[in-house]
Structure formats: C-alpha cells, structure tokens
Chain A
C-alpha cells in the first residue's frame, strides 16, 4: 500500500482497509489471533443484556487489549427508537461517537429498513453521532444518507452471513461513481477474499466482514487471505485497469512471425 493512501473515516486516517467483526469465532484465542492477522485497525462490537458478568468482562478485556478502534453496532434493532436508544448506550459504554447503524426491516434476509434508517440517522447526527449506516445498495438511499451528513456509507454486498459476494456490482459501481467523495465500505455478504478484492477494485474504500473469516475452516489463515486481497484490490484500483474489449488482441508481437506465408 502506498504510504499516503489512507482510508478516511470521519477525519481519522487509517492504513488498513479491512474492518473486522468480533463474533462467531470458535474460541476467544482464535478471535484474537484472527483479528491480529487481518491487520484491521477497527473492530466491531455490540451490547446485549448482562448475563454472566465474568464472561462478558473477559471478552471486553480481550478487545481492549487489541488496542483497535471500536465500532459499536445496533445489530438486531427493528425500530428507530430501539436503534437510537442502543446507539446512546453504546456511546456511553464504548466512549465513541461512531456507530454502525443497523436497522433491520425484514428478518428473512436481514435487509435494512431504508425508511427507518433515514429517520434514525437524522436523529443520531443531530445528537452528535458519527453514523456509519449499514444500508442496501440503493443509490437514492445512499444519496439521502449522504445529504443527512453521513461521511461514510456501508452498502451491503449480499445479505449478512450469506457469503455470496457482490450480488449487484452495477449498483455498487453506480454508487461509487455518483458519490465520489464519500467513504464507501462494502459491509456484509462477503465469503471469499476475491469478493473483497472485487469491492476494492470497484473503488470501494474498504470492506467490513466477520462471518467470512470467523466461519472459515481456519479463521486465522482466512484472515491473512482477506488482508492480502484487500491490499491487492486497492493496488489494482490505483493502477487503473486496462479497458475491457470484445475482440481478442495478441500480446506477443506478430512482426517477424516464423512460418508466415502470404495466402
């Protein structure tokens, strides 16, 4: 990665373009090592009802020990009120005004509710939050979120946890083209490092993923693979790809071709 090629999130410059989740790992030790292997500088967390105080404290201590920036989420919220309340609780516990705003509209595919998302975003931005909305790949929704003051948008690649990759690269590409100055992060639905690479090749600034690493046979190795893929994708984007063509063009010079004879 070029030394001055940073990911910018609400004015903060980061060298890693991979944001990683802290859930679903087979053990706390694997979580810790996978996060470390990814090179990520931001890790996502959440809040739930305090059950066993000791168990929750162990997790939080591990995350604090990573020294990474914390991005809390409002996962599981289905209403504006729930999401706003949970965001405020996150701000107090995690001492950050960053919030990954998740507001689910449909439980079948965990699709974000675009209407509630806009309302909650407006309330939270007016309350001083720096909102990173998890949204669908709808251009107009992204434009509205941007107009409300979101400097970062996180459209999905595919539904959470499906590992399907970028289901609609046309939509994602259009959002990139129409919002050239907004930090765009593909969040959710990635399964393979090539999916992450493709997102970066499209000009996305970063990817956020969890299941693709935590659910792999060897999460630590997969974490390294995603780190390399994100770097490769960014290099490719900066290098500007050759134009695609319909007709074949030989790469080896035809001049001086042996055995050539005029028909």
Chain B
C-alpha cells in the first residue's frame, strides 16, 4: 500500500505504525499524527497504518 510520511511517498506492505517509524529511521524525541490526528505515544504499538494514510513525524526545532 501507499502512504506518505512527512510528505514523502512510500510503498509498504501492511504494517504497524511502529514498524513504519522504524523503517523511516525516526529518532526520538518525536510526536506523530496520522491524517491530521495526534496519535499519543501510548497508542503507537496498537496503531496500524492503512492505504493512503498521511503520517506526520515532528521533532523539536527553533521557534519564536
């Protein structure tokens, strides 16, 4: 199935959120949203990815 993570198109086999994050090389600290909805860390293990999902993986950056 096809998903996007941080705007990049990826083709993956059916997978959990945790596996997708691992294969993307996500490095803590980060927070995740799928299709604009925040997914708390406590739900990462039980969250599955569906075809067409858009994942946002965000980390700290400078801000004003």
- B37: interface (CB < 8 Å): yes
**Which residue of chain A has its CB nearest to the CB of B24?**
A50
Whether A23 pairs with B62 at a CB distance below 8 angstroms is yes
**Which residue of chain B has its CB nearest to the CB of A49?**
B6
B contact residues around A90 at 8 Å (CB): 31
Whether A72 pairs with B30 at a CB distance below 8 angstroms is no
B contact residues around A175 at 8 Å (CB): none
Whether B58 pairs with A89 at a CB distance below 8 angstroms is yes
Whether B64 pairs with A210 at a CB distance below 8 angstroms is yes
B contact residues around A60 at 8 Å (CB): 29, 59-60
- A147: interface (CB < 8 Å): no
Q: How far is the CB of A247 from chain B (nearest CB, A)?
A: 44
Whether A22 pairs with B31 at a CB distance below 8 angstroms is no
- Say yes or no: A50-B36 contact (C-beta < 8 A), given A59-B62, A94-B60, A210-B64: no
A49-B57 Cα distance, complex, nearest whole Å: 6
- Say yes or no: A59-B60 contact (C-beta < 8 A), given A49-B7, A82-B36: yes
Q: How far is the CB of A88 from chain B (nearest CB, A)?
A: 4
Whether A45 pairs with B63 at a CB distance below 8 angstroms is yes
Whether A45 pairs with B61 at a CB distance below 8 angstroms is yes
**Which residue of chain A has its CB nearest to the CB of B37?**
A85
A residues sitting closer than 8 Å to B (CB atoms) are 21-25, 31, 44-51, 53-54, 56-57, 59-60, 63, 72-73, 75, 81-82, 85-86, 88-90, 92-94, 160, 188, 210-211
